[in-house]
Amino acid sequence: MKTTNNIVPGQGVPSPLPENVAGRIGLKQLFLGFLKIGLLGFGGLAPVAHHVIVEDRAWLTEQEYASLLGLGQILPGGNIINLAVIMGDRFQGIWGSLTALAALMAMPLVILMALALLYERFAGLAVVRTAIGGSAAVAAGLVIGTAAKILWKLRLSWIGLLFAALAFAAVGLLQLSLVPVIVVLAPLSVGVAYTRRRS
């Protein structure tokens, strides 16, 4: 690919952010900001992350946020987790990454433990089993609905739809192992996208 001019090897910590912004945000601010994102991130982190980082704290402009999130999205792992790692590093180096990551996970893990202990304590009750069974049915529907919504909004080309269908069939219907499926499909799909973009 003739795009290497866009990948600049790190000299120190490269930063696309204005100097004044990068220096001003300390570990404490990073911690509090990502603590808030984790705590308020019910039903998905993306909306609250955007609110805190762009609107509330004005750490990044819309464009900077979009480009960092874009990078977080093409990397494996949670998008906002990746965003926390990269933003933390841009602001405060490796300690910034660790701080943002720890802050992001702290409250959700505490709340999760509380829910898990309640579940363990009361799972024997018919009311609790029914309630959780009901929310499990909802959760399945939420995932299906989300996928359908993304699919609808993307307006994929036929080749994109083909790759989506192949991934769905291989993992969902044939229940093949995920790693080989991705190792085969991902380079093919990116290669096709690259070829189509050039032509």
List the one residue out of 93, 94, 113 whose CA is nearest residue 105: 113
- 55 or 168: CB nearest another protein: 168
What are the structure tokens assigned to 184, written together?
A: 């085969």
- 30 or 82: CB nearest another protein: 82
- The Cα–Cα gap between 158 and 192 comes to 12
Nearest-10 Cα torsion for 86, 92, 94, 100: -60
Rounded least distance, CB 24 to another protein, Å: 20
Rounded least distance, CB 138 to another protein, Å: 3
144: Cα separation from own chain's centroid: 18
**Residue 14: partners with Cβ closer than 8 Å, 6 or more residues away:** 8
Rounded least distance, CB 18 to another protein, Å: 13
Rounded least distance, CB 151 to another protein, Å: 5
Rounded least distance, CB 20 to another protein, Å: 19
- 58 or 174: CB nearest another protein: 174
Centre a 10 Å sphere on the Cβ of residue 13 and count the other Cβ atoms it contains: 13
Residues in the chain: 199
- 23 or 187: CB nearest another protein: 187
Query: How would you class 45 by CB atoms within 10 Å of its CB: exposed for 0-12, middle for 13-18, buried for 19 or more?
Result: buried
